[in-house]
Amino acid sequence: MIKIKTLLSASLVPLLIWVGGCKESVELPARLQAEDYHGFFDTTAGNEGGVYQSDDVDIEVTTDSGGGFNVGWTDAGEYLRYNVSAAAGTYRARFRVATEQPDRRLRLKVDGVDVTGALSVPDTGGWQSWQNLDVDISLSGGNHTLEVLFDNGLVNLNWIDFSIAGDDPDPDGWHLVWRDEFDGARIDPAKWEHEVNGWGGGNNELQYYTARPENSYQSGGTLKIVARQESYTGPDGTRNYTSARLRTLNKGDWLYGRFEIRARMPHGQGLWPAIWMLPTDWVYGGWAASGEIDIMEAVNLQAGGGNDIHGTLHYGGPWPDNVHSGTGFTPSASVVNEFHTYAVEWEPGEIRWYVDGQHYQTQREWWSSAGAYPAPFNQRFHLILNVAVGGNWPGSPDGGTRFPQVMEVDYVRVYQR
Provide the annotated active-site residues.
292, 297
Q: How far apart are CA 56 and CA 49, in angstroms?
A: 10
Q: How far apart are CA 134 and CA 331, in angstroms?
A: 16
Letter for the amino acid at 267? H
Counting every residue, how long is the chain? Answer: 417
Beta strand spans in 283-399 (E) = 292-297, 309-316, 322-329, 340-347, 350-355, 358-363, 381-389
- What is the DSSP secondary-structure string of 8-54? PPTTSPPEEEE-TTSSPPEESSEEEETTS-SEEEESSSS-SS--S-S
By the 8 A CB rule, do 297 and 305 touch?
A: no
For 308, counting Cβ atoms within 10 Å of its Cβ (0-12 exposed, 13-18 middle, 19+ buried), the class is middle
Q: Which residues pair with 159 in a beta bridge?
A: 33, 96
Q: Helix, strand, or coil here: 313?
A: strand
Q: How far apart are CA 10 and CA 14, in angstroms?
A: 9
User: 10 Å Cβ neighbour count for 250?
Assistant: 10
User: 10 Å Cβ neighbour count for 117?
Assistant: 9
User: 10 Å Cβ neighbour count for 45?
Assistant: 13
- 3-state SS record for 54-107: CCCCCEEECCCCCCCEEECCCCCCCEEEEEEEECCEEEEEEEEEECCCCCEEEE
3-state helix, strand, coil in the chain (%, to 5): 0, 50, 50
Q: How far apart are CA 261 and CA 403, in angstroms?
A: 24
Give the residue among 183, 208, 188 at the shortest CA–CA distance from 198: 208
How many helices (H) and strands (E) the chain has is answered by 0, 32
